[in-house]
Amino acid sequence: MKTLKITLLTALLSLMVVSPVMAINLDKLREIKEKLKPLQPTSEQDEITLGKDVAANLLGAAPLVNDPALQTYVNKIGVWIALHTDRPGLPWRFGVLDTGSVNAFATPGGYVFLTRGMLLRMRDEAELAGVLAHEISHVVEKHALTTMRKGALAGMASDALSRNQPGYAKLVSAGTEIFARGLDKEDEYAADRMGVVLATRAGYDPYGLPAVLQTLSSINPKDDAVSLMFKTHPDSEKRLELVSNSMEGRFDEYVNQPKVEARFSSIIKSHIAIYKPVK
């Protein structure tokens, strides 16, 4: 804070030196202040708490599928991939939401969700790994966290990031809103590229995520099941094109890594046999 005050004072003085007779332009000063406002790094604990609170809001809209075996399976795959990232120590949690709409998302701190509608459109574990790895990449790179902070903190006096700060509720609601609006397109493309690398590093066929993008691009965009997904993500064909370009020639030696079709099909089959909607 002290440094900020000194910097502001210096900025103010320099304006006066350049043009001593000019009336001080307050808008200009506010602009400078905004630019100089230091965005303090969020502590990992605050990131986790925030992600948990946003996840709780989102879970209010769609509950988890009541199938412990399925949830355990998805968690095992997710945690295995997360262990291959730079942030293996986050409290990673993975969940399948009980909705027919096709979507996946992640909140800060390691809370990753995909919908039953999306899971049932997959053909093997490499595809599931690809989608989870895409979401894990958003968490590792703090895409949602950065977007939330930009949105909620613009114009706020303090960097309210922990539960006991006055602006915290605003941050949580901005965080929840992101999932209705979507992330930056560039963040999505980056998560596709990184997702492919992570899934490959975890031992899966690298083409799992591209295969899911192919499936998504074949769904009629007028289908209600994909409306939110398509509203919040760049065009699937464009994503497929960009991720394929970035993969070209670099993944050839990994194409024989397993897709794990048999285990995936057997889990899905058992799930369908016992499935009862939560609501």
Contacts with Zn ion, residue ranges (CB under 5 A): 188, 191
Closer Cβ to Zn ion, 90 or 136, answer by number: 136
Closer Cβ to Zn ion, 151 or 167, answer by number: 151
Task: Kindly give the residue spans of alpha helices, DSSP state H, lying in the chain.
Answer: 2-18, 26-36, 44-61, 68-82, 116-119, 125-140, 143-153, 168-181, 185-201, 208-218, 227-232, 236-247, 261-274
CB of 228 to Zn ion, least distance (A): 13
Closer Cβ to Zn ion, 98 or 135, answer by number: 135
Amino acid (1-letter code) at residue 108: P
Closer Cβ to Zn ion, 78 or 160, answer by number: 78
CB of 99 to Zn ion, least distance (A): 17
CB of 124 to Zn ion, least distance (A): 21
Closer Cβ to Zn ion, 171 or 194, answer by number: 194
3-class DSSP state for residue 93? Answer: strand
3-class DSSP state for residue 63? Answer: coil
3-class DSSP state for residue 111? Answer: strand
CB of 53 to Zn ion, least distance (A): 20
> Please, what's the b/e burial string for 71-95 (b: 16 or more CB within 10 A of its CB; e: otherwise)?
bebbbebbbebbebbebeebebbbb
Nearest-CA neighbor of 100 among 116, 113, 121? 116
CB of 191 to Zn ion, least distance (A): 5
CB of 136 to Zn ion, least distance (A): 10
Cα–Cα dist 29/31, whole Å: 5
Closer Cβ to Zn ion, 124 or 188, answer by number: 188
